[in-house]
């Protein structure tokens, strides 16, 4: 029991929360003021305990990275190609995102898996591409509503974590985001107990594969996180931050979620 308590204290100290905003296909140059407002707020007490990241559309990554300057707000991409360059019209590589000033990239978001037929193997290759360019990969996993109703959520998420994360993951180059598909953009949220159940499973899979390093890897929750439910969701066991969609488009809402980190 004493060991267990010590371990929990140590891991709590190691895992600094990350609150990340995924702007999806939203945002024009005129929206950069929201990112600047978040960057300014980063200079206060928030940045002392929480890492903040905004992933704008690819068209705004360079502008956003320039705008945040030396503040503590990081800028990321929402997807990357598996290759660094080549004949892939319309795609963006991890190398290009890094060149534009990004330090992280989301891979395997359920909208990419659904809209672009991305398999676990492709997501894994994208995470490797991210690492080759020095980016941290935020690997997304999550079950559908039908899978949840059938009681398959743990099997589905465990399988995705195993198959989507490459060998060589570390607490620095990998973040996992659990985003139940049925909670994205719907206003439906799992209970903190339901979130803790899945995050504990993800933690166990990471520790089994990566040993002690798995204890230090961050696992974010995403899906209808708002200022009024953030404290409860972020307080659940093994939740190390949030991946926020709609509520990240407004600096005030995003910052309220960041401040709700325990
Ligand atoms: O998909 C999400 C973040 O990647 C979650 O989106 P919402 O916060 O809008 O539900």
Ligand 1 centroid distance, CA of 157 (Å)? 17
Is the predicted ipTM greater than 0.90, yes or no? yes
Fold of the CATH domain 16-259: TIM Barrel (3.20.20)
Six token digits for residue 117: 């037929």
Task: Report, as residue numbers or ranges, the catalytic residues.
Answer: 109, 179
Buried b (16+ CB within 10 A) or exposed e, 35-58: bbbbbebbeeebbeebbbbbbbbb
- pTM as predicted: 0.95
Q: Alpha helices, DSSP H only, in 23-76? A: 32-41, 46-49, 61-68
Q: Could you tell me which of 145, 128, 150, 146 has the C-alpha nearest to residue 137?
A: 128
**For residue 226, which atom of ligand 1 is closest to its CA?**
8
Ligand 1 centroid distance, CA of 197 (Å)? 20
> Which residue, chain included where needed, has tokens 């407002």?
37
Q: Could you tell me which of 193, 192, 206 has the C-alpha nearest to residue 260?
A: 192
Distance (Å, rounded) from C-alpha 138 to C-alpha 253? 22
Q: How do the domains of the chain map onto residue ranges?
A: 16-259
224 lines ligand 1 (CB under 6 A): yes
Cβ neighbours of 16 (radius 10 Å):
15
58 lines ligand 1 (CB under 6 A): no
Q: Could you tell me which of 24, 34, 35 has the C-alpha nearest to residue 57?
A: 24
Ligand 1 centroid distance, CA of 1 (Å)? 37
Burial class (CB in 10 A: 0-12, 13-18, 19+), 9: exposed
Per-residue pLDDT of the chain (262 residues; tens, 9 = 90+): 334 444 544 444 479 999 999 999 999 999 999 999 999 998 677 888 999 999 999 999 999 999 998 899 999 999 999 999 999 999 999 999 999 999 999 999 999 999 999 999 999 999 999 999 999 999 999 999 999 999 999 999 999 999 999 999 999 999 999 999 999 999 999 999 999 999 999 999 999 999 999 999 999 999 999 999 999 999 999 999 999 999 999 999 999 999 999 8
Is 168 annotated in a binding site? The answer is no
Is 185 annotated in a binding site? The answer is yes
- Map residue 84 onto helix, strand or coil: coil
């Amino acid at each position: 029991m004493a060991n267990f308590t010590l371990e929990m204290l140590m891991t709590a100290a190691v895992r600094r929360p990350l609150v990340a905003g995924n702007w999806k296909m939203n945002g024009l140059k005129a929206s950069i003021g929201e990112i600047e407002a978040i960057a300014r707020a980063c200079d206060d007490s928030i940045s002392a305990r929480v890492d903040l990241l905004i992933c704008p559309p690819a068209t705004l990554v360079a502008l956003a990275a320039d705008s945040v300057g030396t503040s503590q707000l990081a800028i990321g991409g929402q997807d990357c190609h598996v290759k660094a360059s080549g004949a892939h019209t319309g795609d963006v590589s991890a190398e290009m995102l890094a060149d534009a000033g990004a330090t992280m990239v989301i891979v395997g978001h359920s909208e990419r898996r659904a809209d672009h037929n991305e398999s676990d193997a492709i997501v894994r290759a994208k995470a490797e591409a991210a690492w080759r360019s020095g980016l941290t990969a935020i690997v997304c996993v999550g079950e559908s509503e039908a899978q949840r109703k059938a009681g398959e959520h743990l099997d589905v998420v465990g399988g995705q974590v195993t198959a989507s994360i490459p060998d060589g993951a570390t607490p620095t180059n990998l973040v996992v985001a659990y985003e139940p598909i049925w909670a994205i953009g719907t206003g439906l949220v799992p209970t903190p107990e339901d979130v803790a159940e899945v995050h504990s499973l993800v933690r166990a899979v990471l520790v089994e594969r990566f040993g002690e390093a798995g204890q230090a890897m961050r696992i974010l929750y995403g899906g209808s996180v708002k200022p009024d439910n953030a404290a409860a969701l972020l307080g659940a066991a093994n939740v190390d931050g949030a991946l926020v969609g709609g509520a990240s488009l407004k600096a005030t809402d995003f910052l309220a979620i960041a401040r709700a980190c325990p």
